[in-house]
């Protein structure tokens, strides 16, 4: 198809218009999207940084501060901001690009807002494929900011090389950490708005929680205090991110396996419509002796 002839060369050589169009093709599963994906190069030097945390933690402001530091180093950066979906047009509702308008005309920075489209993991359903397209464009860094849905954000750990969990003092985040299992998800903890009086207490709680989980095995993750609005602590945060880059084969293969699992899962679920299932259930559950588990087994045999 036509997409095969020009999209890949333009991606490699840096055509931003082609990049934007390619992402739209992938996200909307337009004709030929699967052929584009099958042409993507196997290797990439891009470092993928995941930024996650509860709504209001300051993820966008922190991302903006990270962009500024990386631009000073003349690094090429792509940012994927995953926002809640509009209930009307299903596009990105908040549009984080508005909050990062200082970078609109910066040639080193490409920012794209994506809708979560109902994904419970805080990511876009096509995030794996879109990230691989960005890697083909040869960005130095790809920053992915999740929607901030609280306890369901663990998906990012299967995609990012380094995951930064952003927390706020006095926001009850220590409870969220324990409930969401973020001790396992985080590679780095960023205590944002650390000028608040409860900051030191949150740091102490995090240290205790990690020791309780890992003991003295040396698995405790770095904790960095930041004030993103004042660009404070950003250098320390970048240093912590670099220190957590795991280049071992085990990490590399586990990330690839997680991506493969997500792709297989999406492929197997393709064509299964929740609204259609609702209508079937409505009819079948009216029958005497209806059993949900028997119905699911029967349904699976016919899809």
**241 touches 142 (CB < 8 A):** no
Q: What's the confidence (pLDDT) of residue 53?
A: 84
Answer yes or no: is pLDDT of 98 > 90: no
**142 touches 66 (CB < 8 A):** no
Q: What is the pLDDT of residues 54-96, one digit of tens each?
A: 778 889 899 999 999 999 999 999 999 887 544 344 444 444 4
State the Cα–Cα distance between residues 52 and 149, nearest whole angstrom: 9
Mean per-residue pLDDT for 4-13?
A: 58
Q: What is the pLDDT of residues 188-208, one digit of tens each?
A: 999 999 999 999 999 998 888
Answer yes or no: is pLDDT of 24 > 70: yes
CA angle 60, 64, 67 (to 5 degrees): 135
- Pairing assessment for the beta strands 47-53 and 162-167 based on DSSP bridges: parallel
Q: What's the confidence (pLDDT) of residue 274?
A: 81
Task: Give the residue among 25, 29, 23 at the shortest CA–CA distance from 270.
Answer: 29
Maximum average pLDDT range among 30-34, 224-228, 283-287: 224-228
Residue 268's Cβ-side half-sphere holds a number of Cα atoms within 13 Å equal to: 8
Q: Can you read off the two tokens belonging to residue 272?
A: 């299964």
Which burial class, exposed, middle or buried, applies to 264 when counting CB atoms under 10 A from its CB (0-12, 13-18, 19+)?
A: exposed
In the chain, the domains with their CATH numbers are 1-39 (no CATH), 43-265 (3.40.50.300), 274-301 (no CATH)
User: What is the pTM assigned to this prediction?
Assistant: 0.81
């Amino acid at each position: 198809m036509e997409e095969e002839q020009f999209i890949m060369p333009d991606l490699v050589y840096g055509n931003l218009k082609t990049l934007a169009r390619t992402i739209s093709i992938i996200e909307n599963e337009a004709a030929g999207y699967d052929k584009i994906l099958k042409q993507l190069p196997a290797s990439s030097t891009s470092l993928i940084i995941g930024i996650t945390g509860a709504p209001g933690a300051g993820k966008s402001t922190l991302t903006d501060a990270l962009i500024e530091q990386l631009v000073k180093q003349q690094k090429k950066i792509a940012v994927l901001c995953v926002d809640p979906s509009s209930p009307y047009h299903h596009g990105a509702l908040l549009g984080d690009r508005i909050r990062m308008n200082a970078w609109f005309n910066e040639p080193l920075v490409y920012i794209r807002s994506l809708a979560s489209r109902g994904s419970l993991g805080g990511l876009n359903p096509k995030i794996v494929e879109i990230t691989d397209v960005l890697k083909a464009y040869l960005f130095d860094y790809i920053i992915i900011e999740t929607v901030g849905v609280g306890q369901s954000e663990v998906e990012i750990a299967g995609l990012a090389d380094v995951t930064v969990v952003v927390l706020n003092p006095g926001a009850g985040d220590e409870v969220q950490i324990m409930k969401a299992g973020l001790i396992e998800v985080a590679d780095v903890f960023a205590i944002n708005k650390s000028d608040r009086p409860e900051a030191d207490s949150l740091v102490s709680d995090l240290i205790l929680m990690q020791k309780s989980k890992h003991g003295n095995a040396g698995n405790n993750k770095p904790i960095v205090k930041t004030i993103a609005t004042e660009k404070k602590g950003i250098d320390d945060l970048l240093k912590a991110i670099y220190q957590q880059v795991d280049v071992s084969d085990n990490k590399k293969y586990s990330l690839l396996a997680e991506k493969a699992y997500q792709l297989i899962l999406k492929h197997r679920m393709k064509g299964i419509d929740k609204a259609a299932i609702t209508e079937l259930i409505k009819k079948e559950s009216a029958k005497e002796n209806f059993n949900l588990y028997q119905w699911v087994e029967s349904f699976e045999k016919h899809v």
